[in-house]
Structure 1
């Protein structure tokens, strides 16, 4: 989700890249939303079955908090055909992309959009049986307070699903033939430094142990499981995955410049060269491996 506290990022300009990135994860996200569907299937007594679909009557409204270009919103609309899906983001351009994507998939009328800033506008979103939020909570200064607020938007028996951290993307072997071996590990270390600096600079930044099930419990919810879903595109990569990696490395080159030495920055420049055989768009050894971790918890408030 776009966020006012990351003002140096033009989320709307990244709309196409964000959509391409999310599409690389579609098989994993389809499995994740099926898992959520099964968590929300209930019998008439309200007990989870994890089996076949009483879900149409169980779920009538879903909030996708930090929806970006709407890839997950549309997946949720297919998974919960009887529910209103509300894509919530601050960037109007990303909500335009959501509406266009929904129209291409014949989901107009099933996917609504709402422009809102977090955490200020949370109370305006109403309630839902399912709230999904992906990599948005870490952009808020007080992550625990954000979960506390989200929990109040859940209807009784509803589920909050929070996708955070997971496995950092791997895409190159240790020795790529240019620069010092181990570039990927140094990018990971620099990204952690950058992430910490971003968190520290957020208004109201509050340090917390990022034990997400414990944080969900602290928000008054009952944890219902954590699962990790793998995205695995082996070499040789198709063009969309290569284009995603090129976009990803372009953003890393800008974001991590203060944390990398000149040799590694030069190596990144070689990887970003559009016509060089050593570039990420052409390398036969490029792959894309990552994982999305989702933490879930249920509201048991009567």
Structure 2
């Protein structure tokens, strides 16, 4: 969607985004298996806000007869998406579409039978209008699948032995405030109750289903999972660190210290537990 591409070095971010999507692949596979039961042999699948194309590739795997288009506003991410398609052997039925979304979808050769928008609609000021615009690029009877909400990732027990118990819950509360501020600061932002089935219906689509999917990576975690946790907390430190109270900021800094036995680089109780929710709707025939 229309992220502020001018302030983010997407070439630098790409490896982190790719690693996270690969880690979440078991969750995405569950969601796509569900969609495969809902959508029969789509001819065109569009991944809206595709990033580096990890999920786009999973769509190509799930629907071997479909053409897949990865659409994003960041060209460096689409370069990685194309390279992945080439590496996995389906470049002949894979395309990319660069530009601000959803406007760039006007360049699609024909309407989509299945459109996927994962954690991207909330970056647009008018989410209801965005859903209507996405639906306008569906073929009659086509499906829009929107991944939004769910339960935020948990990495640590309630009591981690340093700082006050309940650290990650407090971190999440500050993160929620930051998200609210981000939405409010979008030019032309429209306040919206986050009732996604109602928003889809208001956008002229017929809500057909809601399902949540779990990623459960228990301790002890792999090195890749540990790197993801450390990177996620480091990015949170950059975004909201100054909004934490002094004690929680100290705790977060200890968690990020590679030399600290209490940090996430070393402690044995690190895990990842997260749920993502997918809402589906169809364009009326």
Partner of 1:182: 166
Other-structure match for 1:116: 99
Determine which of 123, 142, 145 is the counterpart of 1:139: 123
Where does structure 2 lack aligned partners over 5 or more consecutive residues?
none
Give TM-score, length-normalised by structure 2: 0.96
Q: Is the 8 A contact 2:117 2:145 kept in 1?
A: yes
Separation in 2, partners of 1:33, 1:120: 25
User: Residues 231 and 291 of structure 1 are in contact (CA less than 8 Å); yes or no, is this contact kept in structure 2?
Assistant: yes
Partner residue in 2 for 1:15? 14
From 151, 154, 160, give the equivalent of 1:167.
151
The alpha-carbon deviation at position 7 of structure 1 amounts to 4.9
- In structure 1, the partner of 2:142 is 158
Q: Distance in 2 between matches of 1:106 and 1:261?
A: 50
Q: Distance in 2 between matches of 1:278 and 1:137?
A: 37
Cα deviation, 1:129-180, whole Å, max 9, x if unaligned, reads: 0000101000000000000100111101110000001111011011111112
What is the match of residue 177 of structure 2?
193
Following TM superposition, by how much is the alpha carbon of 1:295 offset from its aligned partner in structure 2, in angstroms?
0.3
Cα RMSD after superposing both structures: 1.4
Following TM superposition, by how much is the alpha carbon of 1:2 offset from its aligned partner in structure 2, in angstroms? 6.4
Residue 99, structure 1, aligned to residue 87, structure 2: no
Aligned to 1:241, the other structure's residue is in SS state helix
Give the alignment partner of residue 70 of structure 1, picking from 53, 76, 86.
53
Task: For 2:232 and 2:243, locate their aligned partners in 1 and report how far apart those are by CA, in whole Å.
Answer: 17
Q: Is 1:269 aligned with 2:250?
A: no
Q: Which runs of 4+ in 1 moved over 6 A?
A: none
* Alignment check: 8 A CA contact 2:98 2:104 kept: no
Q: Is the 8 A contact 1:2 1:91 kept in 2?
A: no
- Distance of 1:120 and 1:281 partners within structure 2: 42
2:211 equivalent to 1:212: no
Deviation per residue, 1:52-87 (Å, 9 max, x gap): xxx2xxx11111000011110000001111111000
- 1:284 alignment counterpart: 268
Aligned partner (choices 45, 50, 73) of residue 90 of structure 1: 73
1:263 positional shift: 1.7
The answer to which structure has the higher helix fraction is 2
Q: Distance in 1 between matches of 2:174 and 2:226?
A: 22
Q: Deviations over 1:91-119 (max 9, x none)?
A: 11111111122222112222211111124
Number of aligned residue pairs: give it.
Answer: 284
Q: CA deviation at 1:224?
A: 1.1
Residue 190 of structure 1: how far off its partner (Å): 0.5
